[in-house]
Amino acid sequence: MTASPRFGERAAVALKDAFLQEALEIATTKFIGLRKDSFAGFPEGEGLRDQARAIKEATLQKLDHYLEQVADNVERLGGHVHWAATAEEARETILGLCRDRGVKMAVKSKSMATEEIELNEALERAGVTPIETDLGEYIIQLAHEKPSHIIAPAIHKTKGQVADLFSRELNERFAADPEVLTAAARKELRQKFLQADMGITGANFAVADTGTVVLVTNEGNGRMVTSLPRIHVAVMGIEKVIPSMTDLMVFLAILARSATGQKLSVYTTLVRGPRRSGEVDGPEEFHLILMDNGRSRQIAGALREALYCLRCGACLNVCPVYRQIGGHAYGETYPGPIGILLTAMLKGDRAVKDLAHASSLCGACQEVCPVGIDIPRMLIALRHRLDRERIAPLGERLMFRIFGRVLASPALFRLGAALGRLAQRPFVRDGRLRSLPLLFGRWTRSRDLPPLARRTFSERWKDLA
């Protein structure tokens, strides 16, 4: 992907991309429908969502305790635990393992944590070949792109585009048929699982009281990555720890439903350290990297609730902004409404000064979130901080200040409405505002607006009183 320098420009390009619009419309509509049907036939769902939220909150309150517990238990099972304060430390730990153990090839299962630390690029620079084995990740690796969705990395591509990509990269003509394309990827990847020295995964959860690392996937690749290479490395944000297996059951009951509308993902893999004597499968070494990278700062920070996130992707599918522009336009590892908050968490508020406005605040994200994260509230607070700390451009700050004054004063509001009605006259066509001048023209470039009503609500109310 060639990223344009500014969010607005990337979004404009995305809006004009007919293939992207088609792919997004099909995929997000499908996900929304599947999720809705799944919860409609699951009356316990609402209660479990409340329970999951409460577990996340209780875990954050004693996060240090649960992290120590999970680390002790992983080591008791024969694994190695590495603490990484930053993305760089996480990367260096993995590169160190590759150097010390002569790793030349690593197979990977889908992991946003490894995207976050830009691991593939670092491995390549160090002479280690990373091979993505999740179908979506494999597609974008072949295309030299980044994921555009948390759970469906190649959601931005139509099957025709994937067929063309495979035909070009694998030197064989393939039909635009998902089964044919999946079989082609499987054939290419099978040998790689056997050749690789290291398997790298993320982790959906780590259970503190047993030391179990949990992977939730829909393709068999996760199991191959965790069991065939001689070394397995799992990279996990520290917020993914949960207290017990009983808690895990709560999350499993709502995670796949929220993500893909399934009752349960096809594979739920529970990793408990390396292969033990007498066992046939499993790696000789297991390493768990517990990564902070800005997370612990937010335990007492404004983005605390974002630490509840299960990375199900449901909030992306319903977001009216994401559904129009897709993930690449955000220009960051984590797209969508939660992505804006996670980017602020990882890189600071300044990094999202444009993205903070890429939300209509409609609340659909909170409604579908399996842990009820109040994304709109945090986005409003983020915008407020951008204003207070003078990060937002001067023009924007002035405009919102004036707007705030007008809304706070009935007299100014009435005057503004009267002036607005006068000013809009030359631009109303067929009952819509389709082309506004100056700065306002940026709004009507890709959408229209209803004109200001002839009379305000309070004017009409007076007549009724």
- Footprint on this chain of ligand SF4 (rule: CB under 6 A): 150, 258, 309-315, 338, 368-371, 373
DSSP 8-state code for residue 393: -
Residue 70 or 316 with smaller CB distance to ligand SF4:
316
Give whichever of 192 and 295 is closer to ligand SF4, judged by the CB atom: 295
What Å distances lie between residue 415 and 146, 410, 418, 422, CA to CA?
Answer: 49, 9, 5, 11
Residue 162 vs 364, nearer CB to ligand SF4: 364
| Residue 341 Cβ vs ligand SF4, minimum distance, rounded to whole Å | 8
In the bound complex, what is the minimum distance in angstroms from residue 114's beta carbon to ligand SF4?
17
Neighbours of 246 (CB within 10 A): 11
SS3 for 313?
coil
CB of 10 to ligand SF4, least distance (A): 21
**Alpha-carbon gap, residue 457 to 465, rounded angstroms:** 12
Q: How far is CA 368 from CA 35, 111, 316, 372, in A?
A: 9, 22, 10, 7
Minimum CB distance to ligand SF4, residue 370 (Å): 5
Compute the distance between CA of residue 87 and CA of residue 92 in angstroms, rounded to an integer: 9
Rounded to a whole number of angstroms, the minimum distance from the CB of residue 411 to ligand SF4 is 41
Nearer to ligand SF4, 167 or 262 (CB): 262
Q: Which is nearer to ligand SF4, 241 or 312 (CB)?
A: 312
- Which residue bears the tokens 């393992």? 97
Place of tokens 């759970």: 151
Nearer Cβ to ligand SF4 (84/150): 150
Written as one string, the DSSP assignment of 89-124 is HHHHHHHHHHHHTT--EEEE---HHHHHTTHHHHHH
- Phi and psi for 217 in degrees, rounded to 5? -140, 170
Contacts of residue 410, Cβ cutoff 8 Å, sequence gap at least 6? 458
CA dihedral 400, 402, 407, 411 (to 10 degrees): -170
Residue 295 Cβ vs ligand SF4, minimum distance, rounded to whole Å:
14
**Which is closer to ligand SF4, CB of 240 or CB of 311?**
311
User: Which amino acid is it at 198?
Assistant: M
E strands present in 148-248: 198-201, 205-207, 212-217, 231-237, 241-242
CB of 375 to ligand SF4, least distance (A): 6
Distance of closest approach, residue 152 Cβ to ligand SF4, in angstroms: 12
Other Cβ atoms within 10 Å of 222 Cβ, number: 26
Nearer to ligand SF4 by C-beta: 153 or 370? Answer: 370
Q: How far is the CB of 461 from ligand SF4 (least distance, A)?
A: 39
Residue linked to tokens 């959860």? 205
Summarize the chain as % helix, strand, coil (round to 5): 55, 10, 35
Question: Considering beta carbons, is residue 122 or 253 the nearer one to ligand SF4?
Answer: 253
β-pair type (205-207, 241-242): parallel
Nearer to ligand SF4, 70 or 371 (CB): 371
Work out the burial of residue 404: count CB atoms within 10 Å of its CB; fewer than 13 is exposed, 13-18 middle, 19 or more buried. exposed
Based on its alpha-carbon atoms, the radius of gyration of the chain, rounded to whole angstroms, reads 25
Give least dist CB 313 to ligand SF4, A.
5
CA distance 273 to 292: 22
* Nearer CB in complex with ligand SF4: 310/382: 310
At residue 108, what are phi and psi to the nearest 5 degrees? -125, 145
Pairing of strands 105-108, 198-201: parallel
Minimum CB distance to ligand SF4, residue 315 (Å): 3
Q: In 10 A of CB 55, how many CB atoms?
A: 20
**Closer to ligand SF4 at the Cβ: 130 or 313?**
313
- Retrieve residue 57's tokens: 């909150």
CB of 338 to ligand SF4, least distance (A): 4
